Amino acid sequence: MTATDPWLRLTVSAPAEVREALGALLMDWGAPGTAEEGEALVAWFPAAERGRVQARIERYALDLGAPVGWRWDDEPEEGWRDRWKAFYKPSRVSDRLGVCPSWETWPPELGAVHMIRLDPGRAFGTGTHETTRLCLRLLDEELAARPGADLLDVGCGSGILSIGALLLGARRAVALDIDPLAAEATRENARANAV
């Protein structure tokens, strides 16, 4: 799969009380992120992933026992990545750590931090999901108390946790993932952050 492969737009309508959890699942399943449009969630997936994601949505709807509807639409290659720029902004995730996409400048009002440069991609972990943010905050606290500790990041996705740990003073981080796209994304992100 490459950046020029065709992408599809998935629009999912679901009860309001499950939308946040569903958004997290869509990202776990490979969406670079989600956006709310009225009563629906929108996510983008490589066309090659449609069958896998479709099966998971059907299983989720059946398990939920609530009305869940979905629609797939072709997404023209031109401009889909630029649309994500509206949703992905610099953010401070802990006392000493921030995440900033490559096309943005770190805003001075967010204060001085170690900055992870990370763009949305095909691997989970952009710093926008609350579980990732919580893990980064916990890493910050732990490494403040134990500088020079080692980290084993199993299921590393984008590598954001390993990169954050190294920027915060970990002696070493080993990042592992069975998904070759995640391993590739981690290597690219590590290079971009000089760790």
CATH number at residue 34: 3.30.70.270
**Structural domain count of the chain:** 2
Among residues 99, 131, 102, which one has the least CA distance to residue 115? 99
Q: What percent of the chain shows pLDDT beyond 70? A: 89
Are residues 47 and 98 both part of a single domain? no
pLDDT in tens, 90-128: 999 999 999 998 889 999 999 888 999 988 765 667 777
Query: What global pTM score does this model have?
Result: 0.66
- Residue span of the structural domain in which 110 resides: 88-192
Res 46: pLDDT:
86
Are residues 114 and 188 both part of a single domain? yes
Among 83, 102, 134, identify where a domain stops: 83
Query: Tell me, what CATH number does 145's domain have?
Result: 3.40.50.150
Cβ neighbours of residue 194 under 8 Å, at least 6 residues apart?
none
CA gap 53, 186 in Å, rounded: 23
Q: Does residue 61 register a pLDDT over 60?
A: yes
